[in-house]
Structure 1
Amino acid sequence: MAEMCGPLMVDVGGLALSAEDREVLAHPAVGSVILFSRNVDTPAQVRALTDAMRAVKPALQIAVDQEGGRVQRFREGFTRLPAMRTFGDQYDLNPHVATTAAFDCGALMAREVRAVGVDFSFAPVLDLDAGISGVIGDRAFHRQPEPAIALIRAFMRGMKSTGMMTIGKHFPGHGSVAADSHVALPVDDRSWREIEAYDLKPFAALATELDGIMPAHVVYPQVDALPAGFSPFWLKTVLREQLGFRGLVFSDDLCMEGAVGVGSISERVDVALAAGCDVALICNRRDEVLRVLN
């Protein structure tokens, strides 16, 4: 498992580093960076960009969202990966063929990402597709826990076969709420018993195999008043103590609308880290990054 040389994950503006980008990456609080579609032209260009980043800070960890389907930041010059639901549909017909294909897809994604100097992808998705969440939908492997767990484990093994760490998201489950946490704070009114019996199952089964976890910007008011990514109950009591997770916890982007109720960006960083996140993400708001660093 990678070690982060600073608690903040930030982004950069374009295809090459600006002077301000270099200054931000050199700051001791910045330990990692996430790439977006705006940072990608060709594989060779991405490799030059990641090399330039490591020239600023050799220990920097570089990430991307390269799940497959709708969520692939690297497209031109990279394999177009299927949505994970494809493997779920295949599993219903032939579980062995589906898990083999999921392994191969995880390995292919990881090889291509690592070849351009990126350390890891925020994958796989552990959410279940309850038929409610449009933002999850076909990003989920299956609607039922047991097939999803088998497919996720196979995909993870494919990633790990290349040396890439695995990051499960969005703990304890984003698939049973309709709202999109990018633009609103979703509220899941179910009881602990209902969540534990469904959404939590993939996380419980795979917690000790994952290298990292990203919590959801979702609030589960019958369990805790705070969204999961800001909740010591979810991150410490449930994830660490009950499920035995020993890896890194990455906040979801603290600039998302699902995080606004916690306060300013600086306050969100403080609350997330105090709650149990190891790395706090600040994306698409360079002004806020500079404010936090200063």
Structure 2
Amino acid sequence: MNSSFDFSDEAAAQLSLQQKVGQLFMPAAFINDSEEEILKLEELIRECGIGGICFFHSRASAATNYEGKKEVPYNEDSFATLKSLIKRYQEAAQIPLLIAIDAEWGLAMRIENTPCYPYALTLGAMRNANKLVYQAGSQVGADCRAAGIHWNFAPVADINNNPDNPVIGYRSFGSDKKQVSDYAIAFAKGMQSQGVLSSAKHFPGHGDTATDSHLGIPLIDKSRAELEANELFPFKELIASGVDSVMIGHLAVPALSRDQNLPATLSDKIIKGVLRKDMGFDGVVVSDALNMHAVSRSFKEKGELEFRAFEAGIDLFCFSENPVEGIQKICEKGNQAAIDESFQRIWRLKSRSIPINGSDKSELTNPHSLNLEIARRSLTQMGPDSHLFAQNEIAVTGIQLGSAGNDLLFNKLRETGRLREIIVDRQNPEIAPGQLSPEDTILLSLNPPLVKPAGNFGFSEHTISFINDLLKFANVTICLFGNPYFLNLLELNPNQKVLIAYQHFDEFQHIALEYLTGRCKAPGKLPVKLKCDSNEKA
């Protein structure tokens, strides 16, 4: 690849129709591919003039392995592998590739042993924290630049107002449209400050659905007025703020498309009408991954899905599984003026995002200090204060349930000499008769194995029953390191003491420790509505 490639209008005019259409395609690249698979992608890049690639961890990862039947490999050298593959693929390209990735909470979303920042929902628990959210976006952007990535498919602009949402949830900044808008803009601006492109997703709003679009077509059955008042609001704000691209979700929104079964990805009324004409967006429109079952199972003829998406107004086909056939169909049947418009949008994006002399950044960020401050600002208290270890005379009975980690909190509490820990099987707990008495002060530390709601967030029905039995005791404090929606599964009493720390990182355990020992308050606010959120302390 020539690092000083000419992205002028004059250079664009020299490209053939097939070369222009090739720039609209962004197939998947996998960090843990075999050499044979790598060679195939290099050949595709050379032969078809592919415009970009989007990196995923492996072919067994969540994006492709919907039923979870394949074992996901662990590669401690993923970051080095990623950089090496980017170099190889760029060298195979005649026109520099746009390199993209999903790094909503950092490269760690796809790559082992790289910086991990908090989920958007955790950021949403902070009050008036635009600067910290901006900093998170900036540091994530810096890591993308260090890897050679130009485009992070973030932020999520979906308003998560459905507790059963199987795919958004923790990826959203919350259920308040104004805060979602403000924080999404701040995160996008942070990335852009590092020269990394942003993408608002998943238009026109994936928050209020109980269907995973990886598996089927979610239906958003709301009126246009309702959508404009809520779901579309963050996208309007992001467009006004200068977001680089908008990703279209595989969602059926009949109030906008006039078709109950047509995903937005294939609806010209939604893309060309609502997004382009009504909302005035003139940037790049990206499809959500075209291998997702919401759309991929509807077209047996190779290339037809890509052509239909192009006809609807998509500029860039992310995770196209049939780029050869897609390019051929669009060249043969596509409107020439529409092809040129899409190409020009992508060409302009490349001209301002691909460094002339390569990236000048190589070191990854250190997330510790920022994560610590986010942990401090997001810590949320429900019910009365519960500084259990602030008074020296109180003995506390501690129980831990869920995934094991470093367990910094309990390690430090043991040092006080006032923690009487009852060790139970974290996944199948039992307590022998006589181990607890009604007078005990109990600290129940919960680390749900999963961040998504499916299957009780990874807890068995037995474990949920065990927790609810414990809550019948008079003095129980819950310390939750996980998705706050988990609390909807519990039988909380009106004065239940709950501390929500959102993540199991050491920094979040450290701040929980400070709270329990009376050294800090909990200034955070629930970013979503819970059954019990009327108990939240203002």
- Give the TM-score of the pair, scaled to structure 1: 0.89
- 2:65 is the counterpart of 1:48: no
Q: What residue in structure 2 maps to residue 178 of structure 1?
A: 210
Q: What residue in structure 2 maps to residue 27 of structure 1?
A: 47
What does residue range 68-79 of structure 1 map to in structure 2 within 5 Å?
Answer: 68=105, 72-76=109-113, 78-79=114-115
SS at match of 2:104: strand
Q: Deviations over 1:172-216 (max 9, x none)?
A: 100011100000111111111111111110001111311101111
Query: Within 2, Cα distance between the matches of 1:49 and 1:260?
Result: 27
CA separation of 1:70 and 1:201: change in aligned 2, threshold 3 A: farther
Q: Deviations over 1:87-126 (max 9, x none)?
A: 11112xxx0xx21111111011111011111111100000
Query: Within 2, Cα distance between the matches of 1:26 and 1:69?
Result: 30
* 8 Å CA contact retained: 1:169, 1:215: yes
Q: What residue in structure 1 maps to residue 133 of structure 2?
A: 102
2:254 to 204, 221, 226: 221
What does residue range 134-149 of structure 1 map to in structure 2 within 5 Å?
Answer: 134-149=166-181
Query: Within 2, Cα distance between the matches of 1:172 and 1:71?
Result: 27
Q: What residue in structure 2 maps to residue 243 of structure 1?
A: 279
Cα offset for 1:18?
Answer: 2.7
* 8 Å CA contact retained: 2:106, 2:143: no
The RMSD of aligned alpha carbons is 2.3
- 2:309 is the counterpart of 1:272: yes
Q: What residue in structure 1 maps to residue 228 of structure 2?
A: 196
Q: What residue in structure 1 maps to residue 196 of structure 2?
A: 164
Cα offset for 1:263?
Answer: 2.1
Query: Within 2, Cα distance between the matches of 1:222 and 1:24?
Result: 39
Q: What residue in structure 1 maps to residue 384 of structure 2?
A: none
Paired AA for residue 219 in structure 2: V
Cα offset for 1:220?
Answer: 1.1
SS at match of 2:255: coil
Query: Within 2, Cα distance between the matches of 1:69 and 1:25?
Result: 27
Q: Deviations over 1:229-272 (max 9, x none)?
A: 11111111111111111110111111211114642351110011
SS at match of 1:125: coil
- 2:111 is the counterpart of 1:80: no
* 8 Å CA contact retained: 2:48, 2:324: no
- 2:28 is the counterpart of 1:11: yes
Query: Within 1, Cα distance between the matches of 2:58 and 2:285?
Result: 26
- 2:87 is the counterpart of 1:36: no
Paired AA for residue 249 in structure 2: A
Name which one, 1 or 2, has greater alpha-carbon Rg.
Answer: 2
CA separation of 1:19 and 1:33: change in aligned 2, threshold 3 A: same
CA separation of 1:153 and 1:89: change in aligned 2, threshold 3 A: same
2:288 to 252, 257, 260: 252
Cα offset for 1:43?
Answer: 2.5
Identity %: 30
CA separation of 1:203 and 1:71: change in aligned 2, threshold 3 A: farther
- 2:161 is the counterpart of 1:130: yes
Query: Within 1, Cα distance between the matches of 2:54 and 2:88?
Result: 14
Paired AA for residue 307 in structure 2: D
Query: Within 1, Cα distance between the matches of 2:108 and 2:267?
Result: 27
* 8 Å CA contact retained: 2:123, 2:133: yes
* 8 Å CA contact retained: 1:87, 1:99: no
Paired AA for residue 200 in structure 1: L
Paired AA for residue 281 in structure 1: C
Paired AA for residue 27 in structure 2: V
- Give the TM-score of the pair, scaled to structure 2: 0.50
CA separation of 1:30 and 1:82: change in aligned 2, threshold 3 A: same
1:211 to 244, 258, 273: 244
* 8 Å CA contact retained: 1:114, 1:120: no
* 8 Å CA contact retained: 1:235, 1:275: yes
- 2:152 is the counterpart of 1:121: yes
SS at match of 2:303: helix
The worse-fitting range, judged by mean Cα deviation, of 36-45 and 179-188 is 36-45
Query: Within 2, Cα distance between the matches of 1:198 and 1:120?
Result: 27
* 8 Å CA contact retained: 1:88, 1:148: yes
**5+ unaligned residues in a row in structure 2: which ranges?**
1-6, 13-19, 60-74, 329-538
Query: How many residues end up aligned between the 2 structures?
Result: 284
* 8 Å CA contact retained: 1:69, 1:139: no
Query: Within 1, Cα distance between the matches of 2:137 and 2:278?
Result: 28
